[in-house]
Structure 1
Amino acid sequence: MGIGDKISNKAEELGGKVKEAAGDATDNERLQAEGQSDQASGQTKQAGENVKDAAANVKDAFK
């Protein structure tokens, strides 16, 4: 729910894209995989934040 968490998650996702691109450019499969993993982690965390926001909106609707 916090904006800081959302920013952190997006930064992790973007950092993963950079790692993946660097791995592509250098034919480093480990770096590519690490970048993909970072992206997936950031996206998963972001999805969790979206669920929290939706739950808060539902809770507020019943007040």
Structure 2
Amino acid sequence: MELVTRFEAATLSTAELYGLRKEAFIAFNAAPRGSQDQRDMLLTMRNIEDELATRAPGL
């Protein structure tokens, strides 16, 4: 799985982001510990979470 940037995440629907977050989580766990792939998936999940946070309704 490729790294998803914040800009790429902004172009996706909320449903797509949730699906991609799941894929990134699975890829993170499958990657060797401390590898570049694992770091990329961690960053991908962070970018997705940041984008989802901007879409959350305010309280």
On whether the aligned pair clears a TM of 0.5, the verdict is: yes
Q: How does 1:1-63 map to 2 (within 5 A)?
A: 5-24=13-32, 27=33, 29-50=35-56, 53-54=57-58
> Which TM-score applies when normalising by structure 1?
0.60
Gap regions ≥5 residues in structure 2: 1-11
4+ residue segments displaced more than 2 Å: none
Letter in 1 for 2:53: A
Q: Where is the helix percentage greater, Structure 1 or Structure 2? A: 1
Q: How many residues align?
A: 48
TM-score normalised over the length of structure 2: 0.63
Would the aligned equivalents of 1:19 and 1:34 in 2 still touch at CA under 8 Å? no
Q: Which has the larger radius of gyration?
A: 1
